[in-house]
Structure 1
Amino acid sequence: LRQFIEVQLTDAEQKLRKSEDSLRRHTERTGAKGVGGYMSSRLVDLETKKSELLKRYTAQHPEVQRLEQQIKAVEEQMKQLPAEELEYARIDREVKINEELYTLLAKRYKEAQISEADRVQSAFIVTPATEPTAPIKPNRMMNITVGIFLGIFLGFVFALLIENLDTSIGTIEDVEKYLDLPVLGIIPHIELDQKQKKMVPRKTEREQRIYLLRSRLVVYHSSKSPFVESYHTLRTNLKLTSSFVAKDTADKKAKILAFTSAGIGEGKTITASNFALAAAQSGIKTLLIETDLRRPSLHWIFGLSRNPGFSDCVIGTKKWTDVIRGTTDFLMGGLGTEKILQSPGIENLSILTAGPSVSNPIDILNSPETGKMIKEMSSNFELIVLDCPPALLFADALIMGTHATGTIIVYQVGRMARRALKRTKDQLATLKVPIIGVALNNVKTSELGSYYGYGYYYSYKYYSKDNASKVK
């Protein structure tokens, strides 16, 4: 802006000097006194006043009319002036205009200089830039340090995650060392043959589940099959367990065994049922009680009515001697007459179903009547088997475990995390529930291998095609 004004100021100065020279030469040549200049200034003043009045009034206003008359009078006087005076007035007017323009530009030029001098510098150099001797990025030392700490942290997280989700069992010794409990039995995995698969009901999911559970009962398999033998092995190992033998010699009443698991779907109900059937086939008077009052399935497997049952006996509406089921009920149930008649020792088995649903299973199981009833039953049977809910999910198994001679934890390899199994054992041990050992259920060859000599179990599928009876 200052430079622009400076150029305009120089131009105005030249015009002013030129007009002043013209006025001086005209005066020297003609001798004009400047009367025309005065009259010209007077005319300009009148024209200015007239313009101001016309902004507020019309042309017919008296003041405007009066100024109009004065302007005409000055113009008439100027017409009477000599030509030299008129030229003088014109040149003088030009000098005044140039003076005003020069004065204005000179003032603006000074203002621009002052403004430029007062302007504060918005940016200035604090430290001069220096040429770097090494690249700023990547910072290798920082990246290596962060990578090491991040690797350690992620490794710890992954290790913790794998440990909590690990369901693998390397060897039986690993299980026994991990839980500090003996493995009492290994129940092999069995497959349905093609004919049995075709006989699976297609109507409802419940019917399919009942059929698959019932197909795993020992009464549907040959007594010489490895599957049935695994339960006899479980019973034999149980009898040889030191804690069990010690209690057996001290108390001649019935042994009470509770079967539980860490979570649902591990096969505790079918394991308890087959253990009771295997004991009955061996001539032991056995009572199987359905103490899982939350999700009872024992009565479905044997084709029995749920009501009346265990909860009725505890409440006092029924006597246990009147509601236990025996051979007659099995014949009328869903197992099939042929299977019942072909099963030796089935008359030694009695079953007490869960009974009607209750809103407070804990109160029912923790009732003093429960203890009294079980004690009374132990005088009438040689073996009582309790099918309990999962110990890690409900306190029911912890309560019933206090009434038992011993508790067996059923663990399906590959279904639940090992830490869940360990937590189940610790939870039972905290309440001083006597834990006898672990039964590994539904074990496949890929999970144990042939190191333990259990490979012969898995020829069962071929064996069952020729000898095992079909499930009805």
Structure 2
Amino acid sequence: MGKVMNQYEIVHSEVRDPAPYIRQEGGGAAREIDTIGALKRRRFMILLLIGTAMTATFLVARLMTPLYEAEADIMFNPRELSWMGDTTQPGALPPSEESARKNEIAIVQSRVLAEAVVDRLELQRIAEFNPSLRPSLSERLRALVAGWAGPALSLLPIEAAASEMPGGGAPHRNTRDEVVNSFQRRLDATSSDASRVISIRFRSEDAERATLVANAVADHFIAQKRDQEVSAAEALGRSLTQEIADLNRDIRDAERRLEETRIALGLHSDSNIKALADRMTELNRQLIAVTGERLRAEAQFAEAQSVRSNGSESAAQVLDSPLIQRLQEAATAASSQVGQLSLRYSNNHPALIAARAELRDLRSRIGEEVQKIQNSRLNAVAIAKTNEEGLRQQVNLLNEQMAKANASEVDVRVMEREVEAKRTLLPQLAARLNNANAQIDYLKLHGPDMQVISRAVVPPFATFPPTLAMLATAFVLSAGGGGVLALLLERADNTVQSLSQIRRMTPVRVVGALPIADRRRRWRRRPPAEHVLDETDSMFIEQLRSLALRTGLGDPTTKVLLFTSSVSEEGKSSAASSMARMLALSGRRTVLIDADLRAPTVHRIFGMNRGPGLTEYVTGGHSLSEVIRTDTASGAEIITAGRNVASPSDVLQSPRLQELVSDLAVMFDAVIIDSPPVLAACDAHILARLADRTLMIVRWRSTRISTFVSAMQRLSDDRIPVDGIVLSQVDGRKYRLHDYGDSAMFSAGFRKYYTRT
């Protein structure tokens, strides 16, 4: 069995960077959006949205039926507001000018006026207002096609078809309501604030008809207003005449009732009410005195109760009774004698028993005297309450008598005021009647206080649809919507955007950016490897040279360079092929190894057969001279992938592959290895240990941030060194629009340094 492969044998640890890792803060995940840059980058989408919206709006405007608007102005005089008030509320204030203006506008837009104008102008005979006279959908389509096809439709049986259409003499249903509704929808009346002018506008498909209707509405409104005001004035005159007659009758009846009431109540003088008041004063004085006596009796009764509850020691002082005072003195002497005898004799001694019996007798007599005094005071309280209650009943009865007298007096005064009010109202009604008669004469002679100050003229242009306003609105909405959409798309774009973003995401060195090789040919671009053959001093070639220099290719310890990526289609094979050709054209001995055994592409780039190649050499079927081929265009040596194998990983871990890389590093100045993607298989991990430098290719605005992070984290977990990151397929012109900190590297001013040959 052969020698066991040591995968770290040619790895120069003293010059390799530490294992890559991703910063915890995820530098690119929450990037800020440059609004101006985003709008610039998406300007073609925004312009397309604007153009589409404005074109659609213009077509819609052209499909709408044009309407012409005619306007007539009338002015009303507010002095007509001062002559007439509400007959049910004499003296009410007239309506304000704003209320009058709103009322006039409501009349102009009323259904009654609309019906009158429709009948006068016979608008029900016009298809514009009468739906039953409008052509059907098939007729409109036929007319539209006829306008396009012209004489070609002369062969169709149009006459026969027309005879079958509705409306050929058949009776139609009554569409008066629909005609009036259509008329009202086209009529509008407005007035600006603090103005007495009412503008009447009418829209019609015919300019002359719009003018005719607007003037007819103004004339009919003034005529109707005159008739209404004359009728209202005559009705007011009749109402006022009747009201004056009723008021005179009411005054006579009220005066008669007032006199009868005075006689019935005896209210010809104020003597009765004065006597009642004097009697009330005397009763109140007596009531106060009796109430005082009751309060004193209750206080004395309370003192007697306190003496009975507290004992008889202080009864003489509280009740002021000489008898009780003498009894207390005798009880005190008896109590002293009992005390002396109790010290001299025993409790059963006759003298001590007699002294104690005498003391009990004295105390019993004191209690009886206190009870007698308490009973007498309780009787005094009862008598005082009875007197007080009697006086209160007399006071209440007298109050009722005075209230009745006062109520009668109030009723009489109310009746007097009512009669006086009716007498005052009578001259006012007479004045209003005279005013109404004068107004009737004025209206019959001069008409209402309003006139047409500007008659409608034929409008030169259609006012509907408002094409310019619609286009402006479409422009604003589409531009705003396009801008918002651009920002949303920019926010949703989670791909790798710039070198500075990569630097925020990982500490691994960013060694360069490869622009699009042939940007001039947008639709048929050549592969980058072919561009290297034709261009010697383009920006793409210069970036390849910078990449080789920054990775250290050419140093004795740096000869093997590995290209890998996160996923496929990121440009690693194109970068490796372009690097090999560039180095070969610069005079270096270069060999390119296609180690992507699962999905090789190098043989297609150079126009070669897939085998024999690396697989055949490692498995022992062919020698190095048989698998290595020369690119005639550049002089680079190529080792293709070879045939398919069941386990590519076993081939890449073979000691023979390690020996091949070591031999090629001695034979050539540069060994370029094209590796499979990191996330596709573990092949890149194996090959990275054979290389002096490993480059991670990241495609600009294509590789997702999460994909790149996963690939870098996977390499970090396996302790696989990554020596540099390259941003590929960068569109320099669009990159400048992002306004990144490193966007100056694609500045147009640097073009003079890349001379084309």
TM-score, normalising length: structure 1:
0.51
Hey, what's the Cα distance between the residues in 2 that align with 1:168 and 1:324?
37
Q: Residues 304 and 396 of structure 1: is their aligned pair in 2 closer, same or farther, counting only changes over 3 Å?
A: same
Using the TM superposition, give the Cα deviation of residue 164 of structure 1 relative to its aligned residue in structure 2, in angstroms.
10
Query: Residue in 1 aligned with 2:546?
Result: 233
Query: Residue in 2 aligned with 1:299?
Result: 603
Query: Residue in 2 aligned with 1:224?
Result: 537
Q: Residues 310 and 164 of structure 1: is their aligned pair in 2 closer, same or farther, counting only changes over 3 Å?
A: farther
Hey, what's the Cα distance between the residues in 2 that align with 1:309 and 1:318?
8
Check conservation: 1:216, 1:270, Cα contact below 8 A. yes
Check conservation: 2:615, 2:642, Cα contact below 8 A. yes
Q: Secondary structure at the match of 1:351?
A: strand
Q: Secondary structure at the match of 1:400?
A: helix
Q: Secondary structure at the match of 1:257?
A: strand
Query: Residue in 2 aligned with 1:180?
Result: 507
Deviation digits for residues 357-400 of structure 1 (CA, Å, limit 9, x no counterpart): 11211111112221122122222112111001111111111111
Using the TM superposition, give the Cα deviation of residue 287 of structure 1 relative to its aligned residue in structure 2, in angstroms.
0.9
Larger gyration radius, structure 1 or structure 2: 2
Deviation digits for residues 204-252 of structure 1 (CA, Å, limit 9, x no counterpart): xxxxxxxx5635534344211111111011112212xxxx89xx5xxx4
Indicate which of 380, 391, 394 corresponds to 2:681: 394
Q: Give unpaired runs (5+ residues) of structure 1.
A: 1-161, 201-211, 332-339, 341-345
Q: Residues 457 and 371 of structure 1: is their aligned pair in 2 closer, same or farther, counting only changes over 3 Å?
A: farther
Question: Does residue 1:415 correspond to 2:415, yes or no?
Answer: no
Hey, what's the Cα distance between the residues in 2 that align with 1:315 and 1:296?
18
Query: Residue in 2 aligned with 1:166?
Result: 494
Q: CA RMSD in A?
A: 3.0
Hey, what's the Cα distance between the residues in 2 that align with 1:435 and 1:237?
14
Hey, what's the Cα distance between the residues in 2 that align with 1:215 and 1:409?
18
Hey, what's the Cα distance between the residues in 2 that align with 1:400 and 1:357?
18
Deviation digits for residues 411-449 of structure 1 (CA, Å, limit 9, x no counterpart): 002112112212212222333322111010011243454
Check conservation: 1:227, 1:457, Cα contact below 8 A. no
Using the TM superposition, give the Cα deviation of residue 405 of structure 1 relative to its aligned residue in structure 2, in angstroms.
0.9
Hey, what's the Cα distance between the residues in 2 that align with 1:218 and 1:282?
15
Deviation digits for residues 158-196 of structure 1 (CA, Å, limit 9, x no counterpart): xxxx99971142x423312312112111111245546x8
Using the TM superposition, give the Cα deviation of residue 454 of structure 1 relative to its aligned residue in structure 2, in angstroms.
2.5
Check conservation: 1:276, 1:287, Cα contact below 8 A. yes
Deviation digits for residues 279-305 of structure 1 (CA, Å, limit 9, x no counterpart): 222322111000011111101111111
Hey, what's the Cα distance between the residues in 2 that align with 1:427 and 1:382?
31
Query: Residue in 1 aligned with 2:734?
Result: 446
| Amino acid across the alignment from 2:495 | T
Q: Residues 183 and 463 of structure 1: is their aligned pair in 2 closer, same or farther, counting only changes over 3 Å?
A: closer
Query: Residue in 2 aligned with 1:63?
Result: none
Map 1:17-96 onto structure 2 (within 5 A). none
Q: Residues 254 and 233 of structure 1: is their aligned pair in 2 closer, same or farther, counting only changes over 3 Å?
A: closer
Q: Residues 238 and 463 of structure 1: is their aligned pair in 2 closer, same or farther, counting only changes over 3 Å?
A: closer
Hey, what's the Cα distance between the residues in 2 that align with 1:369 and 1:163?
50
Question: Does residue 1:258 correspond to 2:562, yes or no?
Answer: yes
Check conservation: 1:253, 1:379, Cα contact below 8 A. no
Hey, what's the Cα distance between the residues in 2 that align with 1:168 and 1:458?
25
Hey, what's the Cα distance between the residues in 1 that align with 2:692 and 2:606?
25
Query: Residue in 2 aligned with 1:273?
Result: 577
Indicate which of 321, 336, 349 corresponds to 2:625: 321
Check conservation: 2:589, 2:669, Cα contact below 8 A. yes
Indicate which of 635, 642, 664 corresponds to 1:377: 664
Q: Residues 280 and 372 of structure 1: is their aligned pair in 2 closer, same or farther, counting only changes over 3 Å?
A: same
Q: Secondary structure at the match of 2:638?
A: strand
Q: Secondary structure at the match of 2:568?
A: coil
Hey, what's the Cα distance between the residues in 1 that align with 2:620 and 2:557?
24
| Amino acid across the alignment from 2:593 | I
| Amino acid across the alignment from 2:627 | V
Q: Residues 180 and 282 of structure 1: is their aligned pair in 2 closer, same or farther, counting only changes over 3 Å?
A: same
Check conservation: 2:610, 2:641, Cα contact below 8 A. yes
Check conservation: 1:285, 1:381, Cα contact below 8 A. yes
Query: Residue in 2 aligned with 1:361?
Result: 648
Q: Secondary structure at the match of 1:379?
A: helix
Q: Secondary structure at the match of 1:407?
A: strand
Hey, what's the Cα distance between the residues in 2 that align with 1:414 and 1:258?
23
Question: Does residue 1:455 correspond to 2:746, yes or no?
Answer: yes
Question: Does residue 1:427 correspond to 2:714, yes or no?
Answer: yes
| Amino acid across the alignment from 2:665 | S
Check conservation: 1:309, 1:354, Cα contact below 8 A. yes
TM-score, normalising length: structure 2:
0.32
Question: Does residue 1:311 correspond to 2:602, yes or no?
Answer: no
Check conservation: 2:496, 2:502, Cα contact below 8 A. no
Q: Residues 178 and 375 of structure 1: is their aligned pair in 2 closer, same or farther, counting only changes over 3 Å?
A: same
